[in-house]
Amino acid sequence: MNPSPTFKKRVLAREWVTGTFLNLGSPVTVEIAASCGLDWILIDHEHGSGGEDTMFNQLRAAGGGTAAPIVRIPANDGWRFKRVLDAGAHGVMVPLVNTAAEARAAAKAMHYPPHGVRGIAKFQRGAAYGAHFDEYFQHAHERLLLIAQIETPTAVANIEEIAAVDGVDVLFVGPTDLTYNLGVPDQFNHPDYVAAQKRVVAAAKAAGKAAGILVLNAALVDSCREVGFSFMALGSDGGSVRSGLLATVEALRKAAPAR
């Protein structure tokens, strides 16, 4: 349950760390993904089907695997960090971080005093129900990962200030939101979007942070790596189920007898 002492160090060293999004709200798909060899998994409670009612069991399911479980909360609200981290998440992804002030609020909510304002409860899953609380309290700020999503032109314009915020570890491009907000929806090779990507990567590197991104098409992985992204997510459990079922239907239709 305790976060790995090495995972965050690997991320900040900009090692190639790989993950996927889990948006079905299912502990079963979390359990499967956590044991497939990924470095991290993203349990999506912003756009996914999960929420307060599924979070605990999803994080319990992740405990049997080797991937670090990260939860995307639906909004940058302080109480949401506390609930997610107490349940055992190893990191939090925050959507729509547009300013340094918003990034600082997230960093404060993420960590215990004196590093932040997170409320303290010893009997919680993140600290093995109190069994490891002293170690957890002492080292949580060194091990828990804070990921700020960059999804608007405003965020890109403020990216150097956001990157400089102590406690923000990853600047994570949300490609769909960012392309739409740039006025170039789903045009992942558009010069304006590529320029925004490069500015995010440069700001992250200058501040000693990592740059991350989600891609839905495996063909984009290499180009994103070349730009400098190191915290990489490919696809989702929902997408994998849909593509698998479509392949199943296609195979069965091909085998159907002629009428």
- The residues with which 40 forms a beta bridge, in sequence order, are 19, 68
Q: Which of 47, 111, 115, 190 is catalytic?
A: 47
Cα–Cα distance for residue pair 147/5, rounded to 1 Å: 17
Is 90 annotated in the active site? Answer: no
* H-only helix segments in 69-213: 78-86, 100-110, 133-143, 153-157, 159-163, 175-181, 191-206
Structure-token pair, residue 182:
């740039």
Across the chain, which distance is largest between two alpha carbons, in Å? Answer: 74
Cα–Cα distance for residue pair 244/32, rounded to 1 Å: 15
Structure-token pair, residue 21:
């999004």
**Which residues are the active-site residues?**
47
